[in-house]
Amino acid sequence: MSQKTKLAFIGSIILNVLLVGVLVGRSPRYSDRSAMREQRMEQAIKDMPEASKTRLREKFQQLRTAAEPLFKEMRQVQDESAQLLGAEPFDEAAFDRQLAKTNELRANATKKLSEVVKNTVKDLTPEERRRFADLMRRPSPPAKS
């Protein structure tokens, strides 16, 4: 194995470990996201007619219902990745297979959720679609004091 190949391989391992560390490090934050999401939605739709509010709440519930199994599977795969990182001895081949599984799952989940979103917003009014799109954007991180 040439020196360049070794360096590329080691660099890849380091980046993958950092990626898994970031993913695992963010996992405790999932617990309060539901309340934050609800608060953001209520704030965004507060000035809309009641019928539109109800329709948007229903559409977001449909999206969450479709997304939850995908997110649950992603969390499970991430947990498995973390276990592989801590295993002794470290099995690079198993870890690489797990990363490939993670990437494939992430791509499939993105594709499925995109279809769900597309089908969800078909019958919304232009204003409802605009509000829905605003809610789909990730909020800015809080300012650090």
Instruction: List pLDDT tens digits, range 52-82.
Output: 888 888 888 888 888 889 889 989 998 998 8
CB atoms within 10 A of CB 121: 16
Q: What is the pLDDT of residue 29?
A: 53
How is the chain classified by DSSP, letter by letter? --HHHHHHHHHHHHHHHHHHHHHHHHGGGGGGHHHHHHHHHHHHHTTS-HHHHHHHHHHHHHHHHHHHHHHHHHHHHHHHHHHHHH-SS--HHHHHHHHHHHHHHHHHHHHHHHHHHHHHHTTS-HHHHHHHHHHHSPPPPPPP-
How many residues does this entry show for the chain? 145
Mean model confidence pLDDT for the chain: 83
State the average pLDDT over residues 13-25: 78
Tokens 């019958």 correspond to what residue?
A: 123
Look up the pTM and report it: 0.58
Domain assignments of the chain as residue spans, ordered by start: 50-136
Q: What is the pLDDT of residue 100?
A: 92
Residue 101 in this model has a pLDDT that exceeds 80: yes
Considering only residues 22 and 4, tell me which one the structure prediction assigns the higher pLDDT.
4
Q: What is the pLDDT of residue 97?
A: 92
